[in-house]
Each structure stands twice: as C-alpha cells, then as structure tokens.
C-alpha cells in the first residue's frame, strides 16, 4: 500500500511505484504507479507545500487576498 493512493480505475487501495524520477521543476517528483488488482498504470506528481501554494496563487490570485 502506498499512503492512501487508490487506483483511478477500480479504486483498489494496494498500489506500487513502478518508476520514480525527479521532475524538471525543482521540488517535485514524478512517479509511475501500478494497481495490484487491475494492473492499471498512471502518473503522479508530488510537489512541496510551498510550490503548491505558489501554483494555487497563480491559478486564483484572489486566494491570497482572502
């Protein structure tokens, strides 16, 4: 099991990381995951909280003013 990540196809909660690489952007990691039940594969991108806040502010500039 990988910390609450569920399969987007069958919602099974047992997945594994098949490949993991640092992304081109500093502070992020690209991971290829696979479901243990249906073998579906998908990508996840993990970024640090500071970078996430920056991206959210770019998407919704009013967010920071609230």
Residue spans per domain, the chain:
15-65
The predicted structure's pLDDT at residue 63: 64
Could you tell me how many helices (H) and strands (E) the chain has, helices first? 1, 3
The predicted structure's pLDDT at residue 32: 96
The residues, ordered by sequence, that sit 6+ positions from 31 with a Cβ below 8 Å of its Cβ are 17, 19, 20, 21, 43, 44, 45, 46
Query: pTM value?
Result: 0.66
Residue located via tokens 């500039």: 61
Compute mean pLDDT per 10 residues along the chain, 66 residues long, and list them: 79 95 79 96 87 82 64
The predicted structure's pLDDT at residue 3: 58
The predicted structure's pLDDT at residue 1: 42
The predicted structure's pLDDT at residue 23: 75
């Amino acid at each position: 099991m990988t910390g609450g990540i569920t399969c987007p196809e069958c919602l099974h909660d047992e997945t594994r990381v098949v490949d993991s690489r640092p992304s081109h952007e500093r502070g992020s990691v690209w991971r290829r995951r696979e479901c243990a039940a249906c073998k579906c594969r998908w990508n996840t991108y993990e970024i640090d909280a500071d970078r996430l806040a920056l991206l959210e502010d770019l998407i919704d500039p009013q967010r920071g003013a609230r």
